[in-house]
Amino acid sequence: MAKGKNTVFYCQSCGYESAKWMGQCPGCREWNTFVEETAPKAGTKTGLAGRSRAGGEPVCLASIDLKEEERQTTHMEELDRVLGGGIVSGSLILVGGDPGIGKSTLLLQVCQQLTADRKRVLYISGEESLRQIKLRAARIGSFSEHLRLLCETSLSVVEETIRREQPQVVIIDSIQTMYDEEISSAPGSVSQVRESTHVLMQLAKGLNITIFIVGHVTKEGTVAGPRVLEHMVDTVLYFEGDRHASYRILRSVKNRFGSTNEIGVFEMKEKGLCQVANPSEFMLSGKPEGASGSIVACSLEGTRPILVEIQALVCRSNLGVPRRTAAGTDYNRVNLLLAVLEKRLNLPLSGCDAYVNIAGGIRISEPALDLGIVLALISSYQDRVIPDHTLAFGEVGLSGEVRAVSQAGQRVQEAGKLGFDTVILPEVCLEQVPEAPGVRLLGVRSVKDAVRLL
Ligand code: TYD
Ligand code: MG
């Protein structure tokens, strides 16, 4: 065996490990992502083997006391919903998002709420100075004296401080700045991030505390560094939204203690993030009246129906290959729907540019939007205005049929609440939908039916 330095190559995108350098990662098919890092020594910190663990003795399911699992509310209803009803002690929560989207602000507000509840909270920042945090806190409002701050990037100091201070909630801003001296690779690299997360996870489970970690997001929209991070933590929340628009959406993509796909809507104001209790109203503000190519659709995000405006613009193309764009929804789905229209309704759309946009900057990929997208496209193509207060939802299949979607009743109810008087929905869903006063339900079987209704 060679005695020299023991190194391995890690894919910086997915964490794939290899003994030699490779151009393309076999794990995630990314090019040029391998970086040489020191291999973790066997029996050191990395891996469960290195750390002393108590127990090993199995227990009866019935004997586990659930009392201590009770959830602590953050007094921010939108956040509580995304977390599945509040924070669970002993959990590790990853908050990802673009730079400047408001992760630090959100977590500082969580600190504010929790310390007001007399919780011991420790905010550890590796990015900002105490002064900067104080300035941000001054914008947000008044804080209780229970909040303790630490500016530190060394993992061992962080670990020691948490063990000494015994806080109930810890915020780590951000995981990419944490640094273990025993590993020679740079902060933010796969080994560092993995090791830091591992240590934090053991702290969370061992001391039964909640740890929030902030993770930066790459251009592709995943947490920078390894995807392995997502597998290690209990809950993954993504903070998204247009940086130029004022509202932000917090979405849970993984949650061991609640449902995923739940969203919380916030608005960034002068004094921090405010909750938006009725997002549908918010999303529909500014909808043009009497314009072709616009319709409202209903999507179910987690347990909550959200109404969004779909806009389409179809015009004659000057190019050999027509231009298509989709903002806020799946590009391939839009292409597929255009092909369905071309084939099933004989519309010559292959000679047209088509632009589809979900107004407001929210991203939705639920198939229930299909019918709305189709109607918006046709409305724009034929320049026919869809009456205001009309809403459509339903999945469109390849033969142009309109298929059932889940929770049709809830969607209709939300539409009624916001003053919609006509709802176009899949015919098969009609029987599940209870009568909604003042709302006319039009069941359709195929895209052709829907177009005839217009
Ligand atoms: P920040 O929480 O620093 O983002 P992240 O930690 O995700 O990088 O958010 C900073 C942005 O939010 C910055 O552009 C300023 C803005 N902001 C407000 O508009 N109002 C406020 O009260 C605060 C604290 C920040
Ligand atoms: Mg920050």
List pLDDT tens digits, range 247-259: 888 988 899 888 8
In angstroms, what is the span from residue 174 Cα to ligand 2's centroid? 7
Residue 352's CB is within 10 A of a number of other CB atoms, namely 20
- Looking at the CA of 134, name the nearest ligand: 1
Residue of 105, 240, 274 to mutate, ligand 1, most atoms within 8 A of C-beta:
105
Ligand 1: atom nearest CA of 268 is 19
Scanning the structure block, which residue is given the tokens 């616009």? 294
**Residues near ligand 1 (Cβ within 6 A):** 97, 99-105, 136, 139-140, 268, 270-272
Closest C-alpha residue for ligand 1 atom 22: 272
The tens-digit pLDDT sequence of the chain (454 residues) is 444 567 888 888 777 888 999 999 888 888 888 888 877 665 444 444 344 455 678 888 888 777 656 788 999 999 998 998 899 989 999 998 888 889 999 999 999 999 998 899 999 999 999 999 999 999 998 888 889 999 999 999 999 999 999 999 999 998 989 988 888 888 878 888 888 999 999 999 999 999 999 988 765 655 655 567 888 899 999 888 776 777 888 988 899 888 887 889 899 889 999 998 888 888 888 888 889 999 999 998 877 889 999 999 999 998 889 999 999 899 999 999 999 999 999 999 999 999 999 987 788 889 999 999 999 999 999 999 999 899 999 999 999 999 999 999 999 998 998 889 999 999 999 998 888 888 999 999 999 999 998 8
pLDDT at residue 222, as a whole number? 59
Phi/psi of residue 421, nearest 5 degrees: -105, -10
For the CA of 106, the nearest atom of ligand 1 = 2
Query: Measured from the CA of 139, which atom of ligand 1 is nearest?
Result: 22
Burial class (CB in 10 A: 0-12, 13-18, 19+), 116: middle
How much distance in Å is there from the Cα of 100 to the middle of ligand 2?
7
* DSSP assignments along 135-176, one per residue: HHHHHH----TTEEEEE--BHHHHHHHHHHH--SEEEEE-GG
Closest by CA position to 364, among listed 294, 283, 287, 433: 283
CA atoms within 13 A on the CB side of 249: 24
Q: Whose CA is nearest to atom 14 of ligand 1?
A: 100
Give the whole-angstrom CA distance, residue 93 versus residue 172. 10
How far is the CA of 361 from the CAs of 165, 254, 358, 374, in angstroms? 42, 22, 7, 19
Interval between CA 181 and ligand 2 midpoint (Å):
23
Peptide bond into 91 cis (omega under 30): no
Which of the ligands is closest to the CA of residue 101?
A: 1
Atom of ligand 1 nearest to the CA of 98: 7
Query: Tokens at residue 414, please?
Result: 């939300």
Q: Specify whether the CB–CB gap between 126 and 152 falls below 8 A.
A: yes
Q: Which residues contact 2 (CB under 8 A, 6 or more apart)?
A: none
334 within 8 A of 344, measured Cβ to Cβ: no
Ligand 1 atom nearest 214 alpha carbon? 6
The sign of the dihedral angle between the CA atoms of 385, 389, 390, 395 is positive
Cα separation, 54 vs 269, in Å, equals 47
Helix (H) or strand (E) run with residue 247 in it? strand 247-255
Q: How far is the CA of 134 from the centre of ligand 2 (A)?
A: 13
What does the H/E/C string look like for 6-54?
A: CEEEEECCCCCEECCCCCECCCCCCECCEEEEECCCCCCCCCHHHCCCC
pTM of model > 0.75: yes
Q: How many Å apart are CA 369 and CA 424, to the nearest integer?
A: 12
Ligand nearest to the CA of 140: 1
> 34-38 and 7-11 as β-strands: parallel, antiparallel, unpaired?
antiparallel
Residues 199-223: tens digit of each pLDDT: 999 999 999 999 999 988 765 655 6
Sign of CA dihedral 349, 354, 360, 363: positive
Please name the residue ranges forming H helices in 303-402. Answer: 331-344, 370-381
Taking each helix axis as running N to C, give the angle between helix 370-381 and helix 331-344, from 0 to 180 degrees, rounded to the nearest 10: 60
Residue nearest to atom 9 of ligand 1 (CA): 102
Angle subtended at Cα 278 by Cα 273 and Cα 280, rounded to the nearest 5 degrees? 115
* Residue 344 token pair: 């099933």
Which atom of ligand 1 sits closest to the CA of residue 127? 6
